[in-house]
Amino acid sequence: MCGIVGVVAKSFVNQTIFDALTVLQHRGQDAAGMVTCEGDRFFLRKDNGLVNEVFRTRHMKKLNGNMGIGHVRYPTAGSNSSAEAQPFYVNSPYGIALAHNGNLTNADKLADEIFRSDLRHINTTSDSEVLLNIFAHELQQIGKLQPTADDIFNAVEKVHARCQGGYAVVAMITGYGIVAFRDPCGIRPLVYGQRVTDKGEEYMVASESVALDTSGYTLVRDLAPGEAIFIDTQGQVSTRQCAQVSRVAPCLFEFVYLARPDSIIDGVSVHHSRMEMGVKLAEKVMRERPDHDIDVVIPIPDTSRTAALEMANTLGVKFREGFIKNRYIGRTFIMPGQTLRKKSVRQKLNPIMAEFRDKVVMLVDDSIVRGTTSKQIVQMARDAGARKVYFASAAPEVRFPNVYGIDMPSASELIAHGRTADEVGEYIGCDWMLYQDLDDLKKSVTCFNPEITEFDTCVFDGRYVTGTVDEDYLARVDAKRNDGAMSASDPSVEDSNESADLHSKID
């Protein structure tokens, strides 16, 4: 996952983009970048690191212009170099900078096409650079010195025809404006908003509505799947559906795990959907164990807190904070090696003994991916004196890799792959393992927007909504993502035979 933002304003946009990227930092902590435009010149700054590490005062002073785009990236397989940081830039035609959230599942094929047919060179392994060159090539084929909004939309239409996968894109064309578009299934989120100043109307597009809120923009709406928006330098807005076939199928994992709770995605409050997930978990407890002996519900900080609170309220049992989080330790799921991930968990979470001693504890997490983090947390609860430890996941079993922009482990490293819930519970050492039902998870979102009738649920059921993912592709993904392969490609990565959990990531 990544975070993207684009702004067209009446004054310099560098500070606004900086603030928006800071708010979107949860979507990527590995690298950050910004390109602004003044007249016919681009100004670029990007590097590995957090937003406030990449952009210092000396950099901000050089990022001139009333429009710009920004990006935050999290590590993916093969993206260790700062050269992979976005936005990317090409000088022909016009000069185009582009930032992208998602993943093209046919990137290798497209890269070959670009070289052989489009006569363009790709300088990195990033599929975002592939996407940029596809867009640039299609725009160049129009052959106009001054492109119109319709010309740009026609180029986007060709991009949709060639590209497969999940993607949300923001691009800036020197001297003309900003274009943003969303994949035909709407897998990755993209919204736009407006604010009115004494100088006129200003616009922002971003991955999540929270970026608009904190900068004083009012959310207009989500971009529809396959839709594009073009905002010219004067603030004139044009939109058009650019995909021949489109349907609403957003990533369900955005609501569980990726997005900030104060965001609205496809008309649904992420916070409210997580509250409903807690209610559904409680209802499942009552179905399976109406005479349960749970004394206290304790969240594993931070994303699961909302669901855990509603679960406790619905069950009529106490809710307590049982773990204190050290916020100065990096996110464990993005650490490259298993040994580093395992060590980090013990440094990051510390139990409050009094909340566990002699109690039957229900621990609640947003999801379980690799399982080792969960295993350590269960042991912490036991060491703190818990009489019994139950474990609930607000998401169903994660059994399959995501190929649309979330760099999850290979299937062989997913704890639930090929295991039942009881077997997962035995592995992590809990007395009862409770997973959310997939239908209940869907209802937790659709109850707030009945117009959403389909989701990307590939991590749970192996169903890839684009219909373009086959076993050969998944085998290549597995080869890239397993820790053994990553360790072999990077000697600094410590390896372990055990699994670690994709956890402790966002807040």
Task: Kindly tell me the burial class for residue 56, based on how many C-beta atoms sit within 10 Å of its own C-beta (0-12, 13-18, 19 or more).
Answer: exposed
Active site residue: 2, 37, 242, 251, which one?
2
Q: At what angle do helices 270-288 and 305-315 cross, to 10 degrees?
A: 40
Q: Return the HEC string of 234-248.
A: CCCEEEEECCCCCCC
User: Is there a catalytic annotation at residue 163?
Assistant: no
Q: Is 365 annotated as a binding residue?
A: yes
SS (H, E, C) 102-158: EEECCHHHHHHHHHHHHCCCCCCCCHHHHHHHHHHHHHHCCCCCCCCHHHHHHHHHH
366 assigned binding-site residue: yes
336 preceded by a cis bond (ω within 30 of 0): no
Q: Dihedral sign, CA of 287, 293, 297, 303?
A: negative
Which helix (H) or strand (E) segment is 349 a member of? strand 349-351
Nearest C-alpha neighbor of 225 from the set 7, 401, 20, 455: 455
C-alpha 386, offset from chain centre: 34
CB 172 within 8 A of CB 178: yes
Cβ–Cβ under 8 Å, residues 102 and 165: yes
Instruction: Please say whether the beta carbons of 454 and 412 come within 8 A.
Output: no
Q: Is 73 helix (H, G, I), strand (E, B) or coil?
A: strand
What tokens were used for 486?
Answer: 């990553």
- Return d(Cα 364, Cα 492) in angstroms, integer: 34
Q: What is residue 251's DSSP assignment? A: B
Helix (H) or strand (E) holding 44: strand 41-48
At 16, which helix (H) or strand (E)?
helix 14-23
Distance CA 89, CA 99 (A): 9
> What is the Cα–Cα distance from 153 to 141, expressed in whole angstroms?
13
Distance CA 459, CA 395 (A): 10
| Residue among 441, 407, 123, 398 nearest 277 (CA) | 441
The answer to whether 306 is a known ligand-binding residue is: no
Task: State the catalytic residues.
Answer: 2
Binding site feature residues for Mg(2+): 303, 365-366
